[in-house]
Structure 1
Amino acid sequence: MSFANFTVLDYLSSIVDILLVWYVIYKLLMVIRGTKAVQLLKGIIVIVLARALSGVLGFNTLGWMIDKVITWGFLGVIIIFQPELRRALEQLGRGKLFSRGNVHEDEERNRIIESLVKATSYMAKRRIGALISFERETGLSDYIETGIPLNSAISSELLINIFIPNTPLHDGAVILQKNQIAAAACYLPLSESPFISKELGTRHRAAIGISEVTDSVTIVVSEETGGISLTKNGELHRDLTIEQFKHLLEKELFDVDHDKQASSSKWNWRVKKHG
């Protein structure tokens, strides 16, 4: 069938067909993102490229070997990734296959929030000083370079362990990038504002300082009082309850807005707290 005989309906059908194929491929890539299947996909691409080059360059023996690998490789893939394939078919049957990307993002967001809340609550109760800065749009690479690189998953246990007194990494700030602990024992710039309350120590000044020059969100746990604070845009939110802290963290990091915020929660670091 030549293009000359195509009707408008045929063109529309072809366009929709192509868009659907691209959408399916995109969603499948989202499904395997972050799993070991990604490495398998890279391996398949390498094998296909090697087969094409062997044909062009006349490497017959290599081409024959790759053909055998391709012939039996699909059976091997089915055997090796049988659990993943079964889970994908189950999700397809429940209608959740193409929503997995959003579900995964929500689960990861909740995991990070819960890890930060759990670690902060533990350290606040025991008055363990802590300083945790979360990178957003403005990069914190200059400050990460001043510390010890970790590049590890965010977990409450690791965060608590870092700030235990007299350990090698407890002095300084932890910097988080996306879903990783990028570095510990980092140096942050101290705020030189004359309006900061005299009650506040070095950790709070560093938290305010980094928030004045970047859009990062920084958590502070006071070693003296166990109070929990949060800084953003040069402002300090002091003496938060765990519920207030969690709500603000969700709002500032992931734009999760809550209908009800505590009425006592106000951004103001210029007012000295009395009593």
Structure 2
Amino acid sequence: MDFTAAVMGLSDTFLMTALVFGCALAIRRDAAMRLLAIMVLFSLISLVGRITGFSSIVRVINILVISTPVLLAVIFQSDLRRALLASRTRTPVVSEFDGDIETVEELLKALTDMAEKRIGALIVLVRQIPIDHIIHVGTQIDAKVTSELLNSIFLPYSPIHDGAVIIETGKLTKAGCLLPLSQNPDIAKSFGTRHRAALGLSELSDCYVVVLSEETGKISLVHDAKITYDLEHTELRRLMKKALGVKRRT
């Protein structure tokens, strides 16, 4: 097989590469670049196989390329699940009420108090995507968010201190909740259960999850499977206002 024929035979492979890259880019940019590199490598190997006459290599590469949509569905299953859930969720509400601003301030006060005492905490701020289908364990509370209530929940001798509290529509709705742990193999081994749980939930929803480390007293915020470490109060306040939909007044 001459070089021209080999190149012509790769047209379908390059077309599939472009389609796969476009789909992956729409879902997650960082993974898309890695997939593009892999697909280009496959295409080059296929080209060499066609030129040298190794038809078995070409067949294997073609099978891998054809199977790519299935691999994409497996790799991005969390992102696809989150997108499907988001498409049928409620319209986000932007609040202009002082109640949500008070919620943010109460959260900050509680986190400051607990950080000084090295008390660990896990606080979920629900946004557009409901999480009822994810969290099956927890104690119903449905109360106003106050620093006193949060402190009492996370005290070490509290029976529900190890779980997460859920804040939704301006109220503390549940406590002692077990969150799904992230299965990402790239997570640092230094992460404790709270950080892994926060990452796990953020992979399945658009929640903001506040994590207070009992070892260091540092506050982190997890969103979209990413962790922002050791937040200062000003930045934490801004992010929590964004999570709760508090509109900035002019």
Q: TM-score range by the shorter chain?
A: 0.5 to 0.7
1:169-211 deviation line (CA, Å, top 9, x unaligned): 1111111111111111101000111222222100000001100
Q: Distance in 1 between matches of 2:167 and 2:104?
A: 12
The equivalent residue for 1:253 is: 244
The CA distance in 1 between the partners of 2:111 and 2:130, in whole Å, is 24
Deviation by residue 1:71-91 (Cα, 9 ceiling, x = unmatched): xxxxxxxxxxxxxxxxxxxxx
- Within the candidate set 212, 218, 225, 1:234 is matched to 225
CA distance in 2, matches of 1:143, 1:151: 18
Residue matched to 1:195 = 186
Instruction: Tell me how far apart the structure 2 counterparts of residues 144 and 156 of structure 1 sit (CA, whole Å).
Output: 24
Q: In the alignment, does 2:146 pair up with 1:146?
A: no
CA deviation after TM superposition for structure 1 residue 131, in Å: 0.3
Q: Deviations over 1:29-68 (max 9, x none)?
A: xxxxxxxxxxxxxxxxxxxxxxxxxxxxxxxxxxxxxxxx
Q: Deviations over 1:194-246 (max 9, x none)?
A: 22222210000000110000111111000110110001111111111222211
Counterpart of 1:116 (choices 107, 111, 123) is: 107
Cα RMSD over matched residues?
1.9
Amino acid aligned to 2:181: L
AA in 2 matched with 1:197? A
Matched, 1:131 2:145: no
Measure, in 2, the Cα distance between the counterparts of 1:177 and 1:252: 10
Does the CA contact (< 8 Å) of 2:199 and 2:226 recur in 1? yes
Cα distance in 1 for partners of 2:200, 2:177 equals: 13
**1:255 positional shift:** 6.0
Q: Deviations over 1:141-178 (max 9, x none)?
A: 13454101101111111011100002111111111111
Unaligned runs of 5+ in 1: 1-103, 258-275
Structure 1 runs (4+) deviating above 4 angstroms are none
In 2, the alpha carbon distance for the partners of 1:252 and 1:158 equals 21
Which aligned pairs between 1:21-100 and structure 2 lie closer than 5 A?
A: none
Letter in 1 for 2:132: S
Q: Could you say which residue in structure 2 is the equivalent of 1:223?
A: 214
Corresponding residue for 1:179?
170
Assess if the C-alpha contact under 8 Å between 2:96 and 2:247 holds in 1: no
Q: Which moved more, 1:185-194 or 1:247-256?
A: 247-256
Structure showing greater radius of gyration is 1
Work out the percentage of aligned pairs sharing the same amino acid.
Answer: 42
Q: Deviations over 1:73-124 (max 9, x none)?
A: xxxxxxxxxxxxxxxxxxxxxxxxxxxxxxx933112111101111111111
Compute the displacement of 1:256 (Å): 5.3
Structure-2-length-normalised TM-score: 0.58
Counterpart of 1:230 in structure 2: which amino acid? L
